[in-house]
Amino acid sequence: DSGVTQTPKHLITATGQRVTLRCSPRSGDLSVYWYQQSLDQGLQFLIHYYNGEERAKGNILERFSAQQFPDLHSELNLSSLELGDSALYFCASSEGQGNSPLHFGNGTRLTVT
Amino acid sequence: AQKVTQAQTEISVVEKEDVTLDCVYETRDTTYYLFWYKQPPSGELVFLIRRNSFDEQNEISGRYSWNFQKSTSSFNFTITASQVVDSAVYFCALSDHNYGQNFVFGPGTRLSVLP
């Protein structure tokens, strides 16, 4: 168990809808990362937060947004969903130093129909 | 910009064979960190090892060993006497020293160990 909690585990929704994915980092971790993994694809970096502040953005679509709250949990909001957004979304947390490994949650599998 | 290349998309071996997964990285930083992760068929991502750029000592953990060579910008992973449970996708990753702001993953290598 990595200590990172992601909810929900599965999400099925229709095109055009909006969903929110939630992540609770390991106790003490200040950094939260979001990654998207499409079928048989690698890990695409979406966004990184450190102690509530956005630190880096990857190829995150404008329809997607995220935030990290004062209690350090994070939410990833996906709107105007398209079929191509179907993927496994991972949250990871770390202590926030460059040498800190990322510890991943079990992911949220999003299916857009 | 930082980049990680894993040229081997898929590898198949027979149980008990040794196998090496290649990882080549690019960075302009002098201080950086390298990682390997395992993603078994169940889907979770498991941290395996971290290596600092200033520590080129090879590391061995049971049947796993890692060879870090700065001269060739490589951080290769060898599994000795592979087992079916080693079947997974393996990702190599690179992080800079700046609060892990840029944590970049390679595309992964899918390893299939056949009985």
What is the per-residue pLDDT for A17? 98
Q: Which of B39, B102, B103, B105 to mutate to test the interface with A (most CBs of A within 10 A)?
A: B103
Question: Is A99's CB within 8 Å of B106's CB?
Answer: no
CB proximity A45 to B under 8 Å: yes
Q: Which of A48, A99, A106 to mutate to test the interface with B (most CBs of B within 10 A)?
A: A99
B residues 1..40 contacting A (CB < 8 A): 31-33, 35, 37
Give the pLDDT band (50/70/90) at residue B90: very high
A104: chain B residues, CB-CB within 8 Å: 37, 44-47
Position A55, amino acid: R
pLDDT (tens digit per residue) in B14-29: 999 999 999 999 999 8
CB proximity B43 to A under 8 Å: yes
Rounded to the nearest integer, the mean pLDDT of chain A is 94
pLDDT higher than 70, residue B100: no
- DSSP secondary structure code for residue A83 in this structure: G
Return the structure tokens found at B7. Answer: 């040229």
What is the per-residue pLDDT for B99? 62
What is the per-residue pLDDT for B55? 85
Percent helix, strand and coil across chain B, each rounded to 5? 5, 55, 40
pLDDT (tens digit per residue) in A40-90: 778 999 999 999 999 988 889 999 999 999 999 999 999 999 999 999 999
CA distance B16 to chain A (A): 26
Angle (CA) A62-A68-A74 rounded to 5° is 85
